[in-house]
Chain A
Amino acid sequence: MRILVTGLGTFWGSHLAQHLEQLPEVEMIVGLDTQEPRLPLERTEFVKADSNYSILDRIVRATQVDTILHTHLIVDSTELPGRALHEINVIGTMNLLAAAGTAGSPVRKVIVKSSALAYGANYKDPYFFRESMSRSGPPRTRVERSLLEAAAFVRDFAIDNPHVTVTKLRFTNVLGDDVTTPFSKALRLPVAPEILGFDPRLQFTHETDVTGAMVFATRQNVPGAFNIAGDGAIPWSEVCAIVGRRRIALPPILTQWAAEPLRMARILDLPPEVLSLLRYGRAVDNSLFKRTGFRYHYSTAGTVDAFARSLRLEGAVGTNAPSYRYERDVETFFRHSPAVVRDQS
């Protein structure tokens, strides 16, 4: 298996590459990003490329990549301004798939890490979205629009390239030891925000289940779109109780304005898609992916509990995030210098 990972400099790209390196069937991994990898990688080749993937065509041909893991879809709109987000999610996906779908392309599998954000959050929603269902109302935020546009490119690609296995994984909100998401930020504060009078049902996926699902899709052949979420759905009040946080209420009307001072004071950025989640909640049906043989390590409540425990550890010993800095020369030396003795066994 010869793998190309997009977004190697993001949390998911780096973590995924680290997992894939341990698989014996993976011959080669090449990672693309504008930023350097966040984690030390043994044998992944990092190529610094612009987010438009203009050199992708050449990379695919030169390395004879057969599997593309597209992790570079931004789902947290607080990370980037809207324009950059559109550029990465929509234009990036479009160019990536165009390069993967050229005549004679060696690509046989494409796995896209998308988000359940694409379903939106609306009072007309079903309690559990199935993969075949569409959202109840039109998308109103930039990130949701960009995800839907990207999804349309993926769908077109799957239709135009029936010989390629296209897997789209829609993840619900992720919590874990290391990952930073709007919800992990909110739960790290001494008091967690809520909207007065609303106690939405939410679902969480643990970060190890996210990489687990991506690796599973890489090794198995599972074409189609799949929801990924820990079992169950629990109210936000209970999430806060498990983590041990009191809640502070935002008013149910003009909520966006009330949240604005928090953003300006750089305490917490609650974008509209997160606010509508805090109002109506969202849950997805995760049974389809389980039927392909995938086993979750954490349920929704288990994810929240694992997060609470890692917060407690952090509170006791301080942040223990691994610090690593990518040094191009050092990495190149270890991978390619004839001075390094490889295969020491």
Chain B
Amino acid sequence: MIDPPEPDDRPKPRTVTSEPVVDFPDPAEAVARSVALVPTTQRPERLDLEPNESEIRRGDVDPYGRSEHMREIARRIYDPMYRYWFRAEWEGLEHIPTDGGALLVANHAGAIPADAPAIMHGIETELHRPVYGLAENLFRAIPFVGTIWSRLGGVPAHPDNAYRLLKDDRQLVLVFPEGTKGTGKTYQDRYKLHRFGRAGFIEIAMRSGVPVVPIAVIGNEEAMPILFKSRRLAALTGLPYFPVTANMLAFGPLGAAIYFPSKFRIRVLPPVHFDVRPDQERYPRAQVMDQSDRIRDAIQDALYDMLRTRRSVWFG
């Protein structure tokens, strides 16, 4: 708007000739050149052509901090764990849309939850679609952890981040509405869903106009069960909970990193579409809570159903 289209006055490429280089310059040209050497206060317009975005970029980190390259490396490292340790098996994968945004909602457990990487890995390898995982923004404040977590598809659970991913970028977003209450529960409460927060995820899905796809995971609750929690150490370290896991008792300090090889079964339930107009300022509280409870019940029923048919924690 300020720069009018300029005539093409870029210097023409000089042709190499065999003529002698040294000769006496034409006086008129010499004058012109001496003028050109006087520093001008007015800067000339840029002459170089702007390269396009892909030529400039030195990495593939997207605006949400996710890097497909890093994801690829992580998938390669994690794949044996997924395939031979947890032996994850899916049913109902066809319920996950292959195109357009959807909010994946799953149950959550384990001192260091193994469900998020398993779900993300499974969907990305099967459907070849990226999955962004919403999580506590506390991660962002921890050096290294925050950066790696973000490169691997983690996004702070801010409503606007989720809305953008779902509505503007039409991506799959995974959320655990139980949050740290789910991961912090002890072994005796296994497979009992906690409350789904304040049902913020329903409002996000309604506002973005995308379906919610409920997912039920079993096996995860036995992978790193919490036996008891230390409230004093949690307060001291600033963590949401400080767990003592069965793994720690079994493997000592290594238990913080080793999961039990429980068999993972993941069931995707039919998507829930909401019959509301997207992009509303707010939605009726009763309707939001009602939908949240329905989805929670659906996941809870699926969990019990799957546990009824499970013969062994380790072999499924």
Q: Are the CB atoms of A320 and B56 closer together than 8 Å?
A: no
Q: Which B residues contact A (CB, under 8 angstroms)?
A: 1-3, 39-43, 46, 48, 50-51, 53, 56-59, 61, 63-65, 137-138, 140-147, 155-156, 158, 160-161, 164
Q: Contacts A127-B63, A212-B1, A320-B39 given: A234-B57 contact, CB under 8 Å?
A: yes
Q: Are the CB atoms of B39 and A238 closer together than 8 Å?
A: no
Q: Are the CB atoms of B164 and A127 closer together than 8 Å?
A: yes
Q: Are the CB atoms of A127 and B1 closer together than 8 Å?
A: no
Of the residues A19, A127, A197, A238, contact of B156 by C-beta under 8 Å: A127
CB of B147 to closest CB in A, whole Å = 5
Of the residues A39, A232, A324, contact of B63 by C-beta under 8 Å: A232
Between A and B, 19 residue pairs with Cβ closer than 8 Å are A39-B41, A40-B41, A123-B138, A123-B156, A127-B158, A128-B164, A195-B143, A197-B145, A198-B147, A211-B2, A212-B1, A238-B57, A298-B50, A301-B53, A302-B53, A302-B56, A304-B56, A309-B48, A322-B39
Shortest 10 CB-CB contacts between residues of A and residues of B:
A197-B143, A241-B58, A197-B144, A123-B140, A123-B141, A252-B143, A305-B56, A126-B158, A126-B160, A322-B41
Assembly CA distance A217 to B53 (angstroms): 27
Q: At the interface, yes or no: A341 with Cβ under 8 Å from chain B? A: no
Q: Are the CB atoms of B58 and A242 closer together than 8 Å?
A: yes
Q: Which A residues contact B (CB, under 8 angstroms)?
A: 19, 39-40, 123-128, 130, 133, 177-178, 195-199, 201, 208, 211-212, 215-216, 232-235, 237-238, 241-242, 252, 280, 283, 295, 297-299, 301-302, 304-306, 309, 320, 322-324
Interface of B is mostly: loop
Query: Which residues of the other chain, B, contact A128 by a CB distance below 8 angstroms?
Result: 63, 160-161, 164
Q: Are the CB atoms of A197 and B146 closer together than 8 Å?
A: yes
Assembly CA distance A198 to B147 (angstroms): 6
CB of A81 to closest CB in B, whole Å = 31
Assembly CA distance A254 to B142 (angstroms): 14
Q: Are the CB atoms of A199 and B155 closer together than 8 Å?
A: no
Query: Which residues of the other chain, A, contact B65 by a CB distance below 8 angstroms?
Result: 127, 201, 235
Q: Are the CB atoms of B56 and A216 closer together than 8 Å?
A: no
Q: Are the CB atoms of A299 and B41 closer together than 8 Å?
A: no
Q: Are the CB atoms of B56 and A212 closer together than 8 Å?
A: no
Query: Which residues of the other chain, A, contact B1 by a CB distance below 8 angstroms?
Result: 212, 215-216, 295
Assembly CA distance A75 to B154 (angstroms): 32
Q: Contacts A234-B61, A241-B58, A302-B56 given: A323-B160 contact, CB under 8 Å?
A: no
Nearest residue, chain B, Cβ from A305: B56
Please name 9 further chain A to chain B contacts, defined as beta carbons within 8 Å, in addition to the given A201-B65, A299-B53, sorted by A numbering: A40-B41, A127-B64, A197-B146, A201-B61, A232-B63, A235-B59, A302-B53, A305-B56, A322-B39
